[in-house]
Each structure stands twice: as structure tokens, then as C-alpha cells.
Structure 1
Amino acid sequence: MHFLHQDDLGRLLLRLCVGGLILLHGIDKLMNPATISGIAQQLTSVGLPSFVAYGVLVGEIVAPLMTIVGWRARIGGLLMAINMIVALALVHTGQLWTLNSQGGWTLELQGMFLFGALAIMFLGSGRMAARPD
């Protein structure tokens, strides 16, 4: 059963999945700049400067690309996790303890992104990477 012990392939699949899916959110924000303005308004409403909203592009464009190619994947995972924590704090705190109509956690997508990013941060890129860590 040696073929089942493919840790590096598992890391690659995790990097591609989490990085690729978060990257799509970042591309959407690039294509719809009003989204960044909305994030800026949310940040100012909690006392943070509006320019911090551009950090979402780091968390949803730069970090996923780092993760996908396997260059500083641990840092990419950390940046994506921070991005998700900020998103949860700004937008989703009221849903933390709620279930959806199918009985699943309302924030299961956000949770998968957050914990997948943390897994990448702890596991690293594996050997199938531009720069294994």
C-alpha cells in the first residue's frame, strides 16, 4: 500500500485547492473594484484606516499564487489565514454559531479556507514545489 503514502502529492493537492479557490475570490475583487471600497467602509466603521482594504489583494491574489506554485508556501498559508480571520471578524461574526438549512455550519466554506490555509502553513509545500520548504 505504498502508493497511499504520497505526502508530497497530498500537499500539492491541498495547495492547489485552497490557493486556487481563494485566488478566484481575489480575481473577482480585481474585476469588481467596488468590492474593495465596500471592504474599506467596513474597516473604517471599526476604526481601521481604509487603505488596509488593499490587504485583501495580498491575501487573495499574492498569497494564493505563492501557495499554488510552492514558493514560500508557509508564508502564503499564513497570509491566507490572516485574510480569512479578518473576513470572519468583519463580515461573519454573527454567523459563527449558526447552521444552514441543510444542517451544516453556515461558515463551512470560510472555515475550510481558514483551516486549509493553516494546514498549508504547518505542512509546508512538500517536494512538488518551485521552492520546497
Structure 2
Amino acid sequence: MQNFLRNDDLGKLILRLTVGVLILFHGLHKILNPASLDFISKQLTGIDLPPVLAYGVYLGEVVAPLMVIFGLFSRLGGLLIFGNMIFALLLAHSDQLFTFTNTGGWALELQGFYLFSGLAIFFLGSGRWAVRQD
């Protein structure tokens, strides 16, 4: 029983599934509503970046979560999620960086969760329960 309670691979699987599934919902929304990329394109042009980079959201919110969920190059998937969240914070949430909610929480808790969880997956790797251990 003690070995089960100290199972790093199970912890990695739970983290991978939680982050991967939750961020994949955001990617599926963008697939089903491609007009949502217009906002991202406008934000990119506002900082002199080409609007075609908006399609990178599919890497960070569809491909990367699938990599993480299945444990297939999950370190790269975690890094892509981390990068995706850096762009999200810079483009859409920079004005909320130092703000709190009415209940005292950080206004960017969800974004922070994805940002740091992606980074954790990058450092931890997939664990044993994966298509490909890394």
C-alpha cells in the first residue's frame, strides 16, 4: 500500500490527464469556432507580429494537449502549452497580471495553472504510463 501512495508515475499521469484534457477543451472550442482566431490575429498585429501566428494556438491547445494526454513527447507538449500560455498572457491578459477577483484570488488563476503545469510536465516527463516514456 505504501508503494501505491508514493507512486510518481501515477502522479504524472494524473497531472498529464488533468492539464491535457482541460486545455484541449479550449482547443476544441477554437476548432468549432474558427472566428475566435480573429481576436488573436488582431492582438498579434497590434505587436507587429504576423497574424498567421494565430494558428499556433492549435499547436498549444490541440496538438500539445494530445501529446501530453497520451504521453507521446510529453515534455515537448508541456513546453508548447507553456509557450502558448506566455502568448495568451501577453496578448490577452497582460492588464490582469496584478489583479485579484472579488473573492481574493488571482484573476489569472486558470492561465497560471496552465502555464506552470505545462512547465511541470516539461520537467517531469511522461512517467511510465505513457505511449512513449521521456
Tell me the TM-score normalised to structure 1 length.
0.98
Q: Distance in 2 between matches of 1:131 and 1:28?
A: 28
Q: Distance in 1 between matches of 2:111 and 2:71?
A: 22
Q: Distance in 2 between matches of 1:4 and 1:109?
A: 28
SS of equivalent to 1:10: helix
- The answer to whether 1:59 aligns with 2:63 is no
SS of equivalent to 2:66: helix
Question: What per-residue deviation string (whole Å, max 9, x for no partner) do you get for residues 67-98 of structure 1?
Answer: 00000000000000000000000011111111
Deviation at 1:3, TM superposition (A): 2.2
Question: What per-residue deviation string (whole Å, max 9, x for no partner) do you get for residues 36-85 of structure 1?
Answer: 11111110111000100000000000000000000000000000000000
Matches within 5 A, 1:1-133: 1-133=2-134
Q: What value does the CA root-mean-square deviation take over the aligned residues? A: 0.6
Tell me the TM-score normalised to structure 2 length.
0.97
Q: Distance in 2 between matches of 1:110 and 1:88?
A: 7
What percent identity do the matched residue pairs reach? Answer: 58
Matched pairs, number: 133
